[in-house]
Amino acid sequence: MLYFTGDVHGNIKGLLYRLDRMGIPHTPDQIIVLLGDVGVNYLQNTADYVNKKRLQDSGRTYFCIHGNHEMRPESIASYQEQLGNFGMVYVEQEFPNLQFAKDGELYDLEGYKTLVLGGAYSVDKFYRLECGARWFADEQIAPERRKAILEQITTFGQLDLVLSHTCPYSWQPTDLFLNGLDQSTVDNSMEKWLEEVETHLNYRHWLFAHFHDDRKINSKVTMLFNTIRNINQIMEG
């Protein structure tokens, strides 16, 4: 069974508690899709290692989308690109149940044809730089990769799912924007690019996270944060 939820930010104990409360079995055929900012590739220290081990030891499979508050696995030496059950993913040998998706790739998630478009801009970038918190320059999809994805779109055909971290520009929940933040300082090129991408895609449902709330944008679009939804709930509305 497929399940979907939003930003975890390293609170793996909380995630596992919610999954256990739902009675989700501890078996690899239970696939938990995390829509970015998992937070297990954030500090590259013991805390990250412990959180990865907790996920691995839970027995479930975790399919992770790239967020904006974490390192890209391809920049970490311990990750290898390999063909997994769903498609090409980044995996560490010690944690095979944690699979990190590649942006712009198509995946087969339990028979659902799925496009992944991770990454986002950190609106707290300058605060992070000032106070010494971690900020990742490659948090968004690189311009050359965006161009390549747009050029490939006509070959994607009918999609069941689109999974992203942020969302197309017109879907942004402006009521959730940070108070006092000058929006003219925000790089929304990723959202505007996704807006263009969306016009070229045929899909059944789009899921994203990033904005720290749970809500239905429209009949084909869902934003997730703490809520966990299974594939039947998503596709049946």
On the 0-12 / 13-18 / 19+ scale of CB atoms within 10 A, 109 is buried
pLDDT-based confidence at 129, cuts 50/70/90? confident
- Rounded Cα distance between 98 and 102, Å, is 13
Residue 205 CB-density burial (10 A; 0-12 exposed, 13-18 middle, 19+ buried) = buried
Percent of the chain residues past pLDDT 70, beyond the cut: 100
CATH of the domain at 6: 3.60.21
Q: One-letter amino acid identity for 70? A: E
User: Starting at the edge strand that comes first in sequence, how are the strands of the sheet with 202-208 ordered?
Assistant: 106-109, 112-117, 158-164, 202-208, 221-223, 215-218
Return the pLDDT at 76. 95
Instruction: Please enumerate in sequence order all residues whose Cβ is within 8 A of that of 112, keeping only pairs 6 or more positions apart, or say none.
Output: 2, 160, 161, 231
Q: Mean pLDDT across the stretch 161-170?
A: 98
What type of residue sits at position 120? Answer: A
The total domain count for the chain is 1
Q: What is the pTM of this model?
A: 0.96
Q: Look up residue 84 and give its two tokens.
A: 């997994």
| Residue-number span of the structural domain to which 182 is assigned | 2-236
Q: What is the pLDDT of residue 184?
A: 74
Which one, of 93, 86, 82, lies nearest residue 62 by Cα? 86
* Tokens representing residue 78 in the block: 């311990």
- Return d(Cα 212, Cα 176) in angstroms, integer: 8
What mean pLDDT, rounded, does the chain reach?
95
Asked whether the predicted pLDDT for residue 194 surpasses 80, the reply is: yes
